[in-house]
Amino acid sequence: MPIHKTDFPGLMIIEPIVLEDARGYFFESYNQKIFETAGLNYNWVQDNQSRSTYGVVRGLHYQLNPHAQAKLVRVVAGTILDVAVDIRKGSSTYGKHVAMELNDSDGRQLYVPVGFAHGFCTLVPDTEVIYKVTDFWTPDCESGVLWNDPALEIAWPDFAGAQIAVKDAALLPLSTLDSPFTSGSE
């Protein structure tokens, strides 16, 4: 299971080895020994799953300390554009993002460390996303950045009428954020 570092310290792409035959496919989506070797030694405490129709945008979310979360994101049905925005003060990639397609056919995953706002949009109907987190969801620690903040320059798909939760549409742009995260806190 190759784990690839990105230009964003701490953000990694996991590419499982998919074994296919006439019956379908099999792959390991998580292997503690391999993850620990890559420096991803976490106690995953909660799995989350969402199902969304076409054109749904979820995010850009993060949780505040003391319940900040790292995430391991994968798609079990459909395709998403997955986005992680670096919000760590002092980071050379602060305010920049990684955007990549994740789908149900290749098993790729995105590891999103603490200090990133995370979100995705669904590119096909009936898309299901599963992600592991390193801390429990805590409503009082929920926060985020406005998904379509022009300063982020995220190339979201050109679909009419993106479906956004009311609370996500009310998030503020990055320029208003006094981030609680610093570079090196990953």
The residue annotated as part of the active site, out of 25, 54, 61, 62, is 61
Q: Residue type for 151, please?
A: A
The residue annotated as part of the active site, out of 42, 62, 111, 131, is 131
Where are the alpha helices (H) located in the chain, listed in sequence order? 32-37, 166-169
Q: Note if 61 is an active site residue.
A: yes
Yes or no: say if 49 and 128 are a contact pair by the CB < 8 Å rule.
Answer: yes
Q: What three-state secondary structure class fits 60?
A: strand
Other beta carbons within 10 Å of 38? 16
Yes or no: say if 105 and 16 are a contact pair by the CB < 8 Å rule.
Answer: no
Yes or no: say if 14 and 108 are a contact pair by the CB < 8 Å rule.
Answer: yes
Q: Residue type for 126, please?
A: D
DSSP string, 78-127: SEEEEEEEE--BT-TTTT-EEEEEEETTT--EEEE-TTEEEEEEESSSSE
Q: Note if 97 is an active site residue.
A: no
Helix, strand, coil percentages in the chain from 3-state DSSP, rounded to 5 = 10, 40, 50
Which amino acids are annotated catalytic? 61, 131
